Amino acid sequence: MNKKNFALYLGFILIIIVAFFLRLYRLDERVFHHDEAAVGYFTYKLFNDGIYSYDPSFHGPFMYYVTAEVYRRMGDSIYSSRLLPALFGAAMIFLLIPLRKYIGNTGVILSAFFLALSSSFLYYSRFYREDIFIAFFSLLMFVCAVKYAEKYFEEKYSFFRIFYLFLAAISLASMAALKENAYIAMALIVFFLFLLFIREKGYQGLIAKIKSFDKKLPTIVLESIFFIFVFLIAFSLYYTGKPLELHGMYAAFERAVIHWYEMHRIERIGGPYFFYLPILALYELPILVFGVIGMAYYGCYDKAKEKMLTVFLAYWVIADIMYYISNVYPQSARFFPTAYIPSSIVILFPLLIYGIICVLKSSNIFLAFLTYWALANLFVYSYIQEKVPWLVLNFLLPLVIIAAVYLGEHLPRLDLKSKAGAATIIFLVLSSSYFAYSSIFLNFYDYTNPAEPLIQAAQPPQKFSLFIDKISEISRQYKNQSTEIQITDNEMETQFLWYLRHYGNVRWRVNIDSELAAPLIVVHDSDDKHEPDIVKSRLRSDYERLDSAKMSWYFFAPSDVTLNYLLYRKMDKPPGEYRVVLFYQPRY
């Protein structure tokens, strides 16, 4: 081993250590997010009572069952809930090793660095949701596909092909048992295979191959059947506990599709088509910039790039003119397709076409797939009206590898004496420094500030922990977890199900006009109804009051993006909050 390789191996090991440390350190300090509280409670019900029922609103069974096993060994806590996401998030770095042949030693180091310190990957590795598991199994499935392709072109048949197919099928079934966007991944994979079939001209001589009983054809058919069979068995076991229980499998699939189609139709959490782009620019700038450059560099044959850029620019200019005329003369809007087609499709359609052309024409199919995967996911999730920040992981993952490959190949060639070379290094150093700073600042200092776009509004402010601690303190003065708690705020139930899971005397949805005499009373606080004041006037004088909030948020405007915001996420206005009040009656 030469000194260069030793340095690379040492760097890789240090990055792995840092990745695990960042994901496990102070893992339980942040209060549970609204969604974490909900899935944490359902996991607790499975662990404590053996009760689980699939609900598409809270996604599939995988995470509940594996975390319930953690509860059995470590107890039910915020730390044990977040432990597996942290471990899976860090373990993703190991999956880069089998790809070293394609991304190079330097590319492996850079990919590992990006994954370890990415604000998005780090934050959601410290978050009890399905998305980091989805990212892990997506990368594992990609690794299996690459290794299968290697074995496919060997002259002698290798049973490793079966192993990679089996592992890929389990990974895909696990994704489907985690979250319903796995069906989107399946559709994109099938479409990619169709494009690959066209690229390789598999249709030429197909009939002749079938008639002549070509040796490779039966093998491919049998392997495909094997893959589908393993996937269906695993899927059925996840959702029904039985192998190939067709009715239960179909019911799970149908409920998932209907539910999420309805969420998209009503635009439950809508947003603009560019929703994810500011998040990438704010937190993942070097990955975004060098990933985009890498997609342009590797994506298509050189002669076509200039023509494609010209066509795309002309397309966007025409679309922009249509939007402008429609805004100035609203009555003319009906004559333009931009009035009938969602803006996400109109604006981002050329990117999807570019991803397709890359698969059909690029000489590097490895990077062509990653380009297609990034752009197709961006296109789909920009269209779907369920805009939440954790979905950024779906197209950030391929961008990480593309950016690392591009930098790994071009950094050694840079002429540092040239203006372009010096500018590249300066930008890389500054953007990477800000990239690392933003991640550490978010995850260890600013982790409940709603000015951080990665934090959805359902995140309670950290002062909510004082609220929970006070409930625990007062309950110890009475009957511990048998202490009566009255909750008049109907919207607090989901958030409280986790935090009050051990309390057996909780009265939910108590009418504010009923008798309120419990040692602990929770009331909603708003500017118009003044419920806390009404309750306070009816309580004995020995009750004390503690104000808190179950969530906080900002509605962003372009003017909010200042230097003070970029560096410290400070806003010139207070956040909106869903406020709650705890009235408690201390004995001591």
Q: What is the pLDDT of residues 252-282, one digit of tens each?
A: 999 999 999 898 988 888 889 999 999 999 9
- Closest Cα to residue 393, out of 85, 102, 30? 85
Strand bridging mode 485-487 / 520-525: parallel
Pairwise CA distance, residues 66 & 238, whole Å: 11
Tell me, yes or no, whether 546 and 410 share the same domain: no
Q: Is it the case that residue 228 has pLDDT exceeding 70?
A: yes
**pLDDT score recorded for residue 306:** 79
- 377: its two tokens: 């996911």
Q: Which residue has the higher pLDDT, 194 or 417?
A: 194
Mean pLDDT within 551-569: 92
Pairwise CA distance, residues 9 & 255, whole Å: 47
Tell me, yes or no, whether 147 and 185 share the same domain: yes
Q: Which residue has the higher pLDDT, 544 or 307?
A: 544
Pairwise CA distance, residues 224 & 242, whole Å: 22
Q: How confident is the model at residue 245 (pLDDT cuts 50, 70, 90)?
A: very high
Using the structure block, give the residue that is written with the tokens 């992981």: 393
Strand bridging mode 576-584 / 520-525: antiparallel
Q: Which amino acid is at 255?
A: R
Q: What is the pLDDT of residues 317-352, one digit of tens each?
A: 999 999 999 999 988 888 889 889 999 999 999 999
Q: What is the pLDDT of residues 161-177, one digit of tens each?
A: 999 999 999 999 999 99
Q: Is it the case that residue 301 has pLDDT exceeding 70?
A: no
The answer to whether position 401 is within a domain reads: yes
Tell me, yes or no, whether 415 and 487 share the same domain: no
The answer to whether position 63 is within a domain reads: yes
Tell me, yes or no, whether 409 and 495 share the same domain: no
Q: Which residue has the higher pLDDT, 292 or 202?
A: 292
The answer to whether position 259 is within a domain reads: yes
Q: What angle do CA 67, 73, 79 make, to 5 degrees?
A: 60
Q: How confident is the model at residue 206 (pLDDT cuts 50, 70, 90)?
A: low
Write the CA distances from 120 to 195, 433, 443, integer angstroms: 31, 16, 10
Tell me, yes or no, whether 189 and 144 share the same domain: yes
Instruction: Note whether 123 and 392 are within 8 A (CB).
Output: no
Tell me, yes or no, whether 412 and 504 share the same domain: no
Q: Give the count of domains, the chain.
A: 2
Tell me, yes or no, whether 145 and 260 share the same domain: yes
Q: What beta strand segments (E) does 72-189 contain?
A: none
- 438: its two tokens: 């933003």
- Closest Cα to residue 358, out of 350, 369, 349? 369
The answer to whether position 323 is within a domain reads: no
Q: Is it the case that residue 213 has pLDDT exceeding 70?
A: no
Mean pLDDT within 216-224: 85
Tell me, yes or no, whether 548 and 403 share the same domain: no
Q: Which amino acid is at 420?
A: A
Collapsing DSSP states into helix, strand and coil, what is residue 246?
Answer: helix
The answer to whether position 335 is within a domain reads: no
CA-atom Rg of the chain in angstroms: 27
Pairwise CA distance, residues 7 & 11, whole Å: 6
The answer to whether position 254 is within a domain reads: yes
Task: Output b/e per residue, 324-347; b: 16+ Cβ within 10 A.
Answer: eebeeeeeeeeebebeeeeebebb
**pLDDT score recorded for residue 457:** 81
- Full residue range of the structural domain in which residue 438 is found: 3-299+362-444
Tell me, yes or no, whether 100 and 210 share the same domain: yes
Mean pLDDT within 429-458: 94
Using the structure block, give the residue that is written with the tokens 């051990």: 502
Collapsing DSSP states into helix, strand and coil, what is residue 113?
Answer: helix
Instruction: Note whether 500 and 485 are within 8 A (CB).
Output: yes
Pairwise CA distance, residues 392 & 396, whole Å: 6
Mean per-residue pLDDT of the chain: 92
Using the structure block, give the residue that is written with the tokens 């405007």: 557
Pairwise CA distance, residues 449 & 47, whole Å: 32
Which of 444, 478, 513 represents a domain boundary (last residue)?
444
Mean pLDDT within 425-442: 96
Instruction: Note whether 264 and 386 are within 8 A (CB).
Output: yes
Write the CA distances from 200 to 141, 205, 206, integer angstroms: 22, 12, 12
β-bridge partners, 545: 583
Q: Is it the case that residue 203 has pLDDT exceeding 80?
A: no
Residue 530 CB neighbour total at 10 angstroms: 11
Which of 444, 472, 492 represents a domain boundary (last residue)?
444
Q: Kindly state the percentage of the chain with pLDDT values over 90.
A: 78
The answer to whether position 306 is within a domain reads: no
**pLDDT score recorded for residue 439:** 97
Instruction: Note whether 173 and 182 are within 8 A (CB).
Output: no
Tell me, yes or no, whether 15 and 138 share the same domain: yes
Which of 444, 473, 502 represents a domain boundary (last residue)?
444
Tell me, yes or no, whether 394 and 517 share the same domain: no
Q: What is the pLDDT of residues 112-137, one digit of tens each?
A: 999 999 999 999 999 999 999 999 99
Tell me, yes or no, whether 399 and 475 share the same domain: no
Collapsing DSSP states into helix, strand and coil, what is residue 60?
Answer: coil
Q: How confident is the model at residue 288 (pLDDT cuts 50, 70, 90)?
A: very high
Mean pLDDT within 552-577: 92
Pairwise CA distance, residues 96 & 139, whole Å: 9
Q: Is it the case that residue 297 has pLDDT exceeding 80?
A: yes
Collapsing DSSP states into helix, strand and coil, what is residue 386?
Answer: strand
Write the CA distances from 467 to 31, 38, 449, 549, 583, integer angstroms: 11, 18, 17, 9, 10
- 515: its two tokens: 């008798």
The answer to whether position 456 is within a domain reads: no
- φ and ψ at residue 190, rounded to 5 degrees: -60, -45
**pLDDT score recorded for residue 214:** 64
Residue 205 CB neighbour total at 10 angstroms: 12
Helix and strand counts by DSSP (H, E) for the chain: 23, 5
Mean pLDDT within 43-47: 95
